[in-house]
Amino acid sequence: MEKQRLKTGSLSRRDFLKVSGITLTVPLVVGPRVLKVAGAEVKVFGPGKVPMTFTINGKTYRAELEPRVTLLDALRNEFDLTGAKRVCDRGTCGACTVLLDGKPVYACSVLAIEAQGKAITTVEGLMQDGKLHPIQQAFIENDALQCGFCTPGFVVACKALLDRIPNPTPEDLVVGLGGNLCRCGTYVGIRAAIAQAARMQRGG
């Protein structure tokens, strides 16, 4: 219920009262305040929840979030886009990899507020017309997954790599996928999958 309402971005009067009731001591901030810092104007958001708008997989999502909320938590907790996983929560393992304007980032290390105005692509957005992306197909065929918890992050990282380098060398793989870790040990399948996906994308 709540989620849907937030997505549409409209607040009911009752909820408005509820929110302002909680934050009596804090001004209910809708737009940012502006501070002068060393002569420059700096926008200040929060404390408290701030309305935010995101473009995720080509669709618009809205939510009211505290500025400290990460993009990963916004995706998972507000929009139920749980493909990106929270594992290390510290920018090490890559299980939360998403694309920001086509560039792979760790969603655990990006603030949601800073992802506004950018094209966010998650693993859920890779299928087209109900068909698996060639990388996804190649992951299945080469058994590049076991428990599957790191898999969405790897799939997205592979897409970013192939978008940049359509015909990657083994060294390119080491760099392009070096930021993702798997515990079950699926790297052999992943190497084979990315080779197959590269061939398929070249039309081979």
Partner 1 sequence: MAERNAMEMAEYKWPEPERRRLIGKRISRVDGPEKVTGRAKYTYDVNRPGMLAGKVLRCPHAHARIVRLDTSAAEKMPGVKAVLPLKKVGDEILWAGDEVVAVAAVDEPTAEDAIRAIVVEYEKLPHFVLDTDPKAAGERVRPTAEQVEGDPDAAFREAEVVVEGLYGASLITHCCLEAHGAVVEWEGENNVLVHVSTQAVSGIAGQMAGPLGVPAGNIRVKQDHIGGGFGSKFGPDSWGIAAAQLSKMAGGRPVKIMLERDAELMVAGARPSYYGRVRVGAKRDGTVIAWESETWGTGGIPPTSPLPLPYVLRIPNQRKRHVAIVTNSGPARAWRAPLHPQACLLTMAALDDLAAALRMDPLDLLLKNIELAGERADVYREELQIAAELMEWKKRWHPRGDPSPGPVKRGLGVSIHTWPGRGHACRCDLTIHPDGSVEVKLGSQDLGTGTRTAIAIVVADTLGIPLEAVRVRIGDNQYPPAGGSGGSTTIGGVSSAARRAALDALDQLFARIAPLLNASPDQLEAWEGRIRVKEDPSRSIAWEQACARLDGMPLTVRGENPGPGELTTAGAAGVQMADVSVDIETGIVRINKMVAVQDCGLIINMKTAESQCYGAMIMGISYALYEEKIMDPATGRMLNPNMEFYKLAGLADIGELVVHMMTGEKYDRRGVIGLGEPPVISPGAAISNAVANAIGVRVPFLPLTPERVLEALAKKGGSHARV
Is 52 in a helix, a strand, or coil?
strand
DSSP annotation of 32: P
Does 107 bind partner 1 (CB under 8 A)? Our answer is no
Buried b (16+ CB within 10 A) or exposed e, 84-102: bbbbebeeebbbbbbbbee
The token pair that represents 83 in the structure block: 């493909």
User: Measured from the CB atom, is 32 or 187 closer to partner 1?
Assistant: 187
DSSP annotation of 86: -
User: Measured from the CB atom, is 115 or 157 closer to partner 1?
Assistant: 157
Does 88 bind partner 1 (CB under 8 A)? Our answer is yes
User: Measured from the CB atom, is 42 or 184 closer to partner 1?
Assistant: 184
- How far is CA 55 from each of CA 7, 18, 59, 153, rounded to the nearest angstrom? 12, 28, 5, 19
Half-sphere exposure of 103 (CA within 13 A, CB side): 6
Is 50 in a helix, a strand, or coil?
strand
User: Measured from the CB atom, is 42 or 62 closer to partner 1?
Assistant: 62
Q: Which part of the chain contacts partner 1 (CB under 8 A), choosing from 6-14, 27-35, 161-169, 177-185?
A: 177-185
Does 116 bind partner 1 (CB under 8 A)? Our answer is no
User: Measured from the CB atom, is 99 or 173 closer to partner 1?
Assistant: 173
Does 127 bind partner 1 (CB under 8 A)? Our answer is yes
| Residue among 133, 37, 152 nearest 94 (CA) | 152
Among 97, 121, 186, 196, contact with partner 1 (rule: CB under 8 A): 186
Does 141 bind partner 1 (CB under 8 A)? Our answer is yes
Which residues form the interface with partner 1 (CB under 8 A)? 1, 22, 66, 68-69, 73, 76-77, 80-90, 92-93, 95, 122-124, 126-127, 132, 136, 139-141, 143, 145-152, 155, 173-174, 177-178, 180-191
